[in-house]
Amino acid sequence: MKKGTVINSDLSRVISQMGHFDRLSIGDAGMPVPMGTEKIDLAVQNGIPSFMQVLNNVLAELEVQRIYLAEEIKTENPAMLKQIQKRLPETPITFIPHREMKQDLAKCRAFVRTGEMTPYANIQLESGVTF
Tens digit of each residue's pLDDT (9 = 90 or more) over 94-130: 999 999 999 999 999 999 999 999 999 999 999 999 9
Active-site positions read: 20
Domain contains 6: no
41 labeled binding residue: no
98 labeled binding residue: yes
Report yes or no on whether pTM surpasses 0.85: yes
> d(Cα 39, Cα 32) in Å, to the nearest integer?
10
Average pLDDT of span 34-61 = 97
Number of domains in the chain: 1
Residue 49: asked if its preceding bond is cis (omega within 30°), the reply is: yes
28 labeled binding residue: yes
Average pLDDT of span 32-36 = 95
User: Cα(first)–Cα(last) distance of the chain, in Å?
Assistant: 27
pLDDT at 10: 98
pLDDT at 4: 81
CATH of the domain at 86: 3.40.1650.10
> Which long-range contacts link 75-84 to residues 24+ away (Cβ below 8 Å)?
76/119, 76/120, 77/118, 77/119, 77/120, 77/121, 80/51, 80/52, 80/118, 80/120, 80/121, 83/52, 84/55, 84/123
Which structural domain range is residue 45 located in?
A: 20-127
Domain contains 71: yes
120 labeled binding residue: yes
Residue 3 has pLDDT above 80, yes or no: no
